Structure 1
Amino acid sequence: MSLTLYEKIWKAHAILERDDGQTLLHVGRHIVQDGSGHAFEALEDRGLIVRRPEQMFAMPDHGVSSTSRDIEAIRDPDQRRAVVGLRDNSLRFGIVHFGLDDSRQGIVHVVGPEQGITQPGMLLVCGDSHTSTHGALGALAFGLGASDVLHVLATQTIWQRRARTMRVTVDGRLPRGVSAKDVILAIIAKVGANGAAGHVIEYAGTALRAMSIEERLTVCNMSIEAGARAGMVAPDDTTYAYLCGRPFAPKGAMWDKALDYWRTLPSEPGACFDKEVSLDAASLAPMVTWGNSPEDALPVDGFVPDPMREADVDRRTYLTSTLDYMGLTPGTAITDIRIDQVFIGSCTNARIEDLRTASKIVKGARAVVPALVVAGSNQVKLAAEAEGLDRIFRDAGFVWGESGCSMCVAMNGDVVAAGKRCVSTSNRNFVGRQGPGSRTHLVSPAMAAAAALTGRITDIRSLEV
């Protein structure tokens, strides 16, 4: 039987299957972040050790400050303890630690790929839902809860139930102004926030194949927002070129051996998927979310929906409450929505390509609302500064921050005040995600940059860039 990419990786990592359908899987790489303190405490309470520390990498990202690399600059004492605890536990158990004083530190889902920690055919886990990001390199990657993190620390294995498969095919050429972020928002708007529940998505089609790895990372990052367990793109020459020479990628004869294996991974012709979805790339437009779920996304030339036009009572109730929270009037043009601030960053859109795109929009202009740019890793920040991108942003009135999750998650000092409206390149617009009472509109880096210059949501296609 022809196998999919997911089925091949699952089969290669399966150790045994229980009668209840749960399978014990070997974990290739475990990335540990600053939310893992409880798992380490449980490990110590049980008198256990870390089973395979050489297959683990630790780095703080959620609770770190965007204003300083000094641990003492972390204002929240709980977050400060979490960062210190990760450092101490890594030292104790022999785990490679990219701390705040390490040039490799950053958001786990940015650092993993850029360091070559993430590789095709690998099963990779992390105690964070957006671990699906790593599937862009042909890995099976998903997030874990605290008890599962403990299990992996102690055994280098994880119990999982096999998922169904879903293929999302995007064919054609993306129009001007349409980015990978717009593609994934369009996919989520089409299938819904639970449309991929119980599935692992494989992204395919000519539009996906034409994307860089950084663009594919953006798409896979938000797979979880469609309810998927993971998102994947089959490895190809773009993948191999990206990985070659990275610090933790195979070298020499091991590279050749790995490459031979990686080339066997793509889904075979005739492989069956439980669900198929397709989009025409040429029909897509820059996307903007208006509500409190990534599925609440519309083309930028659209209008805020009217609850009174909904026949379904539950849907009408949802729209009414959402628009009340967001402070929006039905029928308002998306481009008439005024904003209070802008955030460019997160594990979705804070890589060097994202910063280059945004800098082209703001170069020579001036932000009219507060705007914050936070690189996804120290390596991205250093690369951007070497290219002079930081100067472009600063000259335009943007704040240039230190690497970390920053305003995406509002647990590190970077927040949106209650009632304020933020255009963000992050992945979630849930109620209170960027701070209690905050209002979030998800967009691409280019759209965020344009909004900072105009003070409203702006169609990037109207700008001459």
Structure 2
Amino acid sequence: MTDIRNLFNKVWDLHACQTLPSGQDQLFIGLHLIHEVTSPQAFAILRERNLTVAYPERTVATVDHIVPTQSTARPFVDLLAEEMMSAIEKNCRDFGIRLFDLVDNRQGVVHIVGPEQGLTLPGMTIACGDSHTSTHGAFGSIAFGIGTSQVADVLATQTLALARPKVRKIEVTGQLKPGVYAKDVILHIIRKLGVQGGVGYAYEYAGDVFDRMSMEERMTVCNMSIEGGARCGYINPDQTTVDYIQGRPFAPQGEEFERAAKWWLSLASGKDAQFDDVVVFKAEEIEPTVTWGITPAQSVGVKETLPTISSFPADDQKVISEAFQYMDLKEGQPIQGLKINVAFIGSCTNGRISDLREAARIVKGRHVAAGVKALVVPGSQLVRKQAMEEGLDKIFEEAGFEWRGAGCSMCLAMNPDKLQGNEVCASSSNRNFKGRQGSPTGRTLLMSPAMVAAAAVTGAVTDVRELD
């Protein structure tokens, strides 16, 4: 018989232990990733209840959010950051958990480290106390961002109580135009469906565009599923997936890999798979995209002008007015030419080697505009090492960028990299909320790494296609 289940439901069914009186399923978690910010309280709960970690071999820790990217000398200047760092070191020692710390060359942003180490595999259930755990869905896993109390649940039981979401298939068909990247694709999807559009859904990304994407591009797309309200997002495993995983340190090896690869490919949603909803976008309609407001859905193509408040439904007009006021922008204003003060290339969305290569290609032979602070933050120590071997660090430094160590950096305000006052930042990260980058009046414009590079060297939002 033909299996009409999509990948999400196949994987869910394989990991569901029982249905609870609440109606939720108790789901076994194959991989638990932890970091220094959301784990201390969870370990405290275990100690209070005299519990152990059920499967320490299924938990892997790294440090990223609070890590300074200029100097990692201990103790950190920020006492709270030092406290968090000391806590995860002690907790991992006490509970027998593998930790990629600052002296381990595998350290980096948790959602970059998992895939590059071969910890993230198709068909897995993955959990992490971080919103952007959906990144790992690029491999055909189902991956959930969870809260601190749920981190404690997974540590103690290796399970989560979850309500099964519906599944929406999002197809992007056709061919992307030059200068349009994976980041533009997901920003376009969120713009069209809204930040609440995915509530109650898992997103399956399908179609020509995703089929042609590299694994790093797929990770960028899945990373921002949560910004569209989805519980998670994933892409069916294919040969691109298998080729990326092969040979990675924690991946299966030899004959075991061949058997695993065959099973991974069998998980993909078949042509008869059923979905609760299907949405189709045309690739040709997607332009280099820039956010202008205070949610990832408030964006426009780089050649567009900002919308009018009256063009939005009445229920949305209050937040749209709030966005214009906060960002100090006007209806009908062109986004191109908007001056920036800071350019940030990095984060779990766009801190991988392909992101750095593309940005370096744009800045090579150019220089950061006067008055602009520009920094490049590799997503892991291994990405940093590879970039330096390729000479990308020299290209950035010669162009006037600051070349930093691995970490979350200016994606969020939990380390020394922060906006000051009313600065406007062109950012390759995933959130443009009020105060997200450390200043209560700082303003964030999300865009692709190539677009950030273009903004850095011109001092303003610029269509990267004009420089390329």
Bin of the TM-score, shorter chain as denominator length: over 0.9
* Deviation, structure 1 residue 312: 4.2
For residue 355 of structure 1, what is the aligned residue in structure 2? 356
1:2-13 equivalences under 5 Å are: 2-13=4-15
Answering whether residue 191 of structure 2 is matched by residue 189 of structure 1, we say: yes
For residue 339 of structure 2, what is the aligned residue in structure 1? 338
Identity among equivalent positions (%) equals 48
Which of 442, 449, 452 pairs up with 2:453? 449
Counterpart of 1:100 in 2: which secondary structure? Answer: coil
For residues 134 and 71 of structure 1, the distance between their equivalents in structure 2, rounded to whole angstroms, comes to: 31
Answering whether residue 41 of structure 2 is matched by residue 38 of structure 1, we say: yes
Which of 86, 98, 101 pairs up with 1:84? 86
For residues 112 and 294 of structure 1, the distance between their equivalents in structure 2, rounded to whole angstroms, comes to: 25
* Deviation, structure 1 residue 94: 1.2
Distance 1:123 1:312, change over 3 A: closer
**1:95-142 C-alpha deviation (Å, 9 max, x unpaired):** 111001110000000000000000000001000010000000111101
Letter in 2 for 1:86: I
For residues 201 and 322 of structure 2, the distance between their equivalents in structure 1, rounded to whole angstroms, comes to: 30
Please identify, of 284-293 and 257-266, the stretch whose mean Cα deviation from structure 2 is larger. Answer: 257-266
Preserved contact between residue 288 and residue 300 of structure 1 (Cα < 8 Å): yes
1:89-238 equivalences under 5 Å are: 89-238=91-240
Preserved contact between residue 2 and residue 272 of structure 1 (Cα < 8 Å): yes
**1:422-451 C-alpha deviation (Å, 9 max, x unpaired):** 000000000110122110000000000000
Preserved contact between residue 75 and residue 413 of structure 1 (Cα < 8 Å): no
* Deviation, structure 1 residue 68: 1.9
Considering only aligned residues, what root-mean-square deviation do their CA atoms show, in Å? Answer: 1.0
Which of 386, 393, 398 pairs up with 1:395? 398
For residue 63 of structure 2, what is the aligned residue in structure 1? 60
For residue 25 of structure 1, what is the aligned residue in structure 2? 27
* Deviation, structure 1 residue 15: 0.6
Distance 1:311 1:245, change over 3 A: closer
**1:228-256 C-alpha deviation (Å, 9 max, x unpaired):** 00000000000000000000000122212
For residues 123 and 466 of structure 2, the distance between their equivalents in structure 1, rounded to whole angstroms, comes to: 42
Counterpart of 1:347 in 2: which secondary structure? Answer: helix
* Deviation, structure 1 residue 320: 1.9
1:265-414 equivalences under 5 Å are: 265-307=267-309, 309-310=310-311, 312-368=313-369, 369-414=372-417
Counterpart of 2:403 in 1: which secondary structure? Answer: strand
Counterpart of 1:336 in 2: which secondary structure? Answer: coil
Letter in 1 for 2:388: E
**1:408-435 C-alpha deviation (Å, 9 max, x unpaired):** 0111011111211000000000011012
* Deviation, structure 1 residue 315: 2.9
For residue 51 of structure 2, what is the aligned residue in structure 1? 48
**1:387-426 C-alpha deviation (Å, 9 max, x unpaired):** 0000000000000111000000111011111211000000
For residues 120 and 5 of structure 2, the distance between their equivalents in structure 1, rounded to whole angstroms, comes to: 22
Answering whether residue 435 of structure 2 is matched by residue 418 of structure 1, we say: no
* Deviation, structure 1 residue 313: 4.0
Letter in 2 for 1:39: A
* Deviation, structure 1 residue 62: 0.4
Preserved contact between residue 59 and residue 99 of structure 1 (Cα < 8 Å): yes
* Deviation, structure 1 residue 49: 0.7
For residues 54 and 395 of structure 2, the distance between their equivalents in structure 1, rounded to whole angstroms, comes to: 47
Preserved contact between residue 70 and residue 100 of structure 1 (Cα < 8 Å): no
Counterpart of 1:170 in 2: which secondary structure? Answer: strand
* Deviation, structure 1 residue 327: 1.1
Letter in 1 for 2:416: G
For residues 386 and 148 of structure 1, the distance between their equivalents in structure 2, rounded to whole angstroms, comes to: 40
Letter in 1 for 2:64: D
Please identify, of 241-250 and 277-286, the stretch whose mean Cα deviation from structure 2 is larger. Answer: 277-286
Letter in 2 for 1:289: T
Letter in 2 for 1:107: V
For residues 348 and 101 of structure 1, the distance between their equivalents in structure 2, rounded to whole angstroms, comes to: 24
For residue 460 of structure 1, what is the aligned residue in structure 2? 464
Q: How many residues align?
A: 462
* Deviation, structure 1 residue 195: 0.5
Counterpart of 1:102 in 2: which secondary structure? Answer: coil
For residue 242 of structure 1, what is the aligned residue in structure 2? 244
Letter in 2 for 1:171: T
TM-score, length basis structure 1: 0.98
Letter in 1 for 2:365: G
State the 4+ residue runs in structure 1 displaced beyond 6 angstroms.
none
For residues 312 and 57 of structure 2, the distance between their equivalents in structure 1, rounded to whole angstroms, comes to: 57
* Deviation, structure 1 residue 92: 1.3
